[in-house]
Structure 1
C-alpha cells in the first residue's frame, strides 16, 4: 500500500494554555487541495511510561489512585511522565520505585502506544517488569497509592472491575497475557 502524503502545515498557533496543557490550532492543506483547521493538545515531547510489574510468576501489582478527569479512584498499572534527560527504561524503573516501592532487574518492552492520536501527540511506552526487589523513592502523588496485588489467572475478573477502565491499562494487560501465551 502506498504511503499517503501528510498534509502541509500552513499555520500553527497556541489558542489556549494552562499549567499542564497547550492547545494548538493547526491550519492544514491536504494533497487534494482541501484546507481544514484542526486543534490538538501539544505534548511535552517527553512521553510517558506504564509498567506491568510481576511480584512473582502468578501475581501482578496494580495501584489505585485518584483520577481527576473522572473524579473517582481508578485501578491501573504504575505509570508516569518521562523526566527530562531520562530514557523510557529509566523512567519505568523510577516510577516503579515511587509508586509501588520496588525496583526491577528486568524490563521487557511491550509496545509504545498513543491515545486519541487525532488530538494528542503523546506516546506511552509499556513495559513488563520482572525480578523485583524492594526499593522506594519519594513520588509526587498527593497521597499514598493503594497497592493491589492481582492473580494473573483472574484477568477476566480484573477486566470486569468497575474501576479498571483506562484503555492503556487494559491494553497493557491484554498485551501481557498475549506475550505470556507465546
Structure 2
C-alpha cells in the first residue's frame, strides 16, 4: 500500500454559507508536490436514512433539488446537529421529512460523495419498526412520501426522477444487509 501524501499546509480559498473551498499543499512519497482544492463541509456530517415500512417496502421522498432544478425521488437525509448522535439525527430527520420515527436504527456504513475533492461524509442508517410522529423541519414545502418495494429496486433505477448517488447506494446497501449478504464491519 502506498504512503499517503504529506500535507504541508491548508488555507481557506473561498467561502459560502454552505461550503468552503480549501487549498491543500501535498507532498507525495516520490517527492512530487501539488496543491489540490477540496470542498470542506461546514457541518458535523450527515445522515441518509433507509426507512422500512415492512420487510420489503422502503419510504422514499420526492423533494426539489436546486442543483438539478427538478424534483428528485430519494431517501430522507440531512445534516447532523451539534451534540447529536448519528442515530438521534437519523430519527429527527425521519420525523421531520416523512412523519415517522423508528424504534430500531442501525448504522450500515459511511459514504463519501466524492473523496477526490470533498471532506463530507454521510452515514447510511437503516430504520425499522416505524411509528407515526412528526416534527417541524426546515423544508419549504411538505415532502411527498412514496413507498417502493426493495424487490423492485431495478425499476427505480429507470425512474426519471432518480439520479442521487447516495440514495441509490444506500438502497443497495440496505437491500444486501436485509438479505444477509452484507454485514457491516465483517
TM-score bracket relative to the smaller structure: over 0.9
Shift of 1:42: 0.8
Q: Deviations over 1:59-104 (max 9, x none)?
A: 1100010111101110000000000111111100000000000010
CA distance in 2, matches of 1:73, 1:58: 24
Shift of 1:30: 1.2
Shift of 1:153: 2.3
1:54 aligns with 2:40: no
CA distance in 1, matches of 2:43, 2:6: 21
Q: Which residue of 2 aligns with 1:26?
A: 24
SS in 2 for 1:163: coil
Moved more, 135-144 or 53-62: 53-62
CA distance in 2, matches of 1:61, 1:45: 26
Shift of 1:57: 2.1
SS in 2 for 1:160: coil
Q: Which residue of 2 aligns with 1:180?
A: 178
Runs (5+) with no aligned partner, structure 2: 181-186
SS in 1 for 2:30: coil
CA distance in 2, matches of 1:109, 1:37: 35
User: 2:18, 2:42 within 8 Å by CA — same for their partners in 1?
Assistant: no
1:102 aligns with 2:100: yes
SS in 1 for 2:166: helix
Equivalenced residues, count: 180
Q: Which residue of 2 aligns with 1:40?
A: 38
User: 2:20, 2:42 within 8 Å by CA — same for their partners in 1?
Assistant: no
User: 2:81, 2:89 within 8 Å by CA — same for their partners in 1?
Assistant: yes
SS in 1 for 2:154: helix
Q: Which residue of 2 aligns with 1:136?
A: 134
Q: Which residue of 1 aligns with 2:82?
A: 84
Q: Which runs of 4+ in 1 moved over 2 A?
A: none
